[in-house]
Amino acid sequence: MRILGIETTCDETAAAIVQRGADGAGDILSNEVMSQIAEHAAYGGVVPEIAARAHIDVLDRLVERALATAGMDISDIDGVAAAAGPGLVGSVIVGLTAGKALALAAAKPFVAVNHLEAHALTARLTDRVDFPYLLLLVSGGHTQLVAVRGVGEYERLGSTVDDAIGEAFDKVAKMLGLAYPGGPNVEREAIDGDPQRFDLPRPMLMRPKPDFSLSGLKTAVRLEAERIAPLTRTDVADLCASFQAAVIDVVVDRSRAALRVFREDHGHPNAFVAAGGVAANGGIRRALGRFCSEAGIRLVTPPLNLCTDNGAMIAWAGLERLALGLADDLTFAARPRWPLDANAEAIHHGKA
């Protein structure tokens, strides 16, 4: 089966063609991504209205390019998958509507994909990981530890009670005067900094439930920056290095707690998977490598271009669902909120 995947949940417009063989192996035939960094840089973050308009401007060309690179026509595909959330609702609607229109015009099945599920399943495309496995999903808007038991079967073991890790990186970058996007710039500055200069907190450390909290750490960075202002380049580098070191310690500790919970409930996982944009951070990857080596578990981190938002992960999630006979009708609505584990979401917000 070959599927066209469309991703427009935030500030990347993406289209890809992915093929799934009879043995379940995946092959990316094309993967086109257009970033909107230049459009949002002046505002220091993503502006929803600008993002939606930018998706409209380029999506048709990206779909054409994805098909051309794969050497295919729209009639050659076996289905269309589009991210239907979670994300900026205006942006989501652009890709979702385009995907429905293409599926209708080509008389192909349509799959509405949960953006988080696409991240969760990427390791099966890149490394053929078998269920069940433990997932660390870390991005600008999400920080979760999830037991992945099968397609559509997710149990959230822990999440952030305030800021996502990527959000904390971006906010620290902004307060230190670094350009957008903040996360990669914090990582670059940290390379030349002293991670031990500032004694920053490690929130939630040693707690049995694998939840995260980043707002206190972010506030601690702000207070240190105000205390030593005006900041020199060395100060900025040291603050970035100290902040990143604190995040790494928290990520490893929370992952260790999640692994204990996973083993109690599901046995030994087939892998520890780190996915999402923040999983591209080199320091976090290296620390997780050491943690997994000590824990005797295989670490799987998708290639950097498949950690950030892309169409290949949407196409693959669509393929996984279509292979199980799962498709959606064209009335499927955009979902700005769409948790992987609906039960955990309800409990978290006091609704169950």
Q: Structure tokens of 306?
A: 């498949």
DSSP result, 237-258: HHHHHHHHHHHHHHHHHHHHHH
Distances (CA, A) of 81 to 41, 75, 307: 30, 15, 18
DSSP 8-state assignment for residue 107 = T
The residue type found at 158 is G
For the chain, give every domain's residue range.
2-121+305-338, 130-304
Residue pair 221/270 in contact by the 8 Å Cβ criterion? no
CATH class of 130-304: alpha beta
Domain 2-121+305-338 has CATH 3.30.420.40: yes
CB atoms near residue 46 (< 10 Å): 19
Which strand ranges, in their side-by-side order, compose the sheet holding 133-138? 153-159, 143-150, 133-138, 272-275, 299-300
Structure pTM?
0.94
DSSP result, 133-182: EEEEEE-SS-EEEEEEEETTEEEEEEEBSS--HHHHHHHHHHHTTPPSSH
DSSP result, 285-346: HHHHHHHHHHHT--EE---HHHHSS-HHHHHHHHHHHHHTT--B-TTPPP-S---SSHHHHH
Each residue's pLDDT, cut to its tens digit, for the chain (352 residues) gives 999 999 999 999 999 999 999 898 999 999 999 998 888 888 888 899 999 999 999 999 999 999 999 999 999 999 999 999 999 999 999 999 999 999 999 999 999 999 999 999 999 999 999 999 999 999 888 999 999 999 999 999 999 999 999 999 999 999 999 998 899 999 999 999 999 999 999 999 999 999 999 999 999 999 999 999 999 999 999 999 999 999 999 999 999 999 999 999 999 999 999 999 999 999 999 999 999 999 999 999 999 999 999 999 999 999 999 999 999 999 999 999 999 998 875 544 333 2
Q: Structure tokens of 333?
A: 């609505």
Same fold, 2-121+305-338 and 130-304: yes
The vertex-193 CA angle with 252 and 40, nearest 5°, equals: 80
Cα separation, 176 vs 225, in Å, equals: 8
220-258 per-residue burial string, b: 16 or more CB within 10 A, e: under 16: bbeebbeeeeebeeebbbbbbbbbbbbbbebbbbbbebb
DSSP 8-state assignment for residue 208 = S
Cα separation, 243 vs 221, in Å, equals: 7
CB atoms near residue 214 (< 10 Å): 25
Cα end-to-end distance, the chain, whole Å: 40
Provide φ and ψ at 287, rounded to 5°. Answer: -65, -40
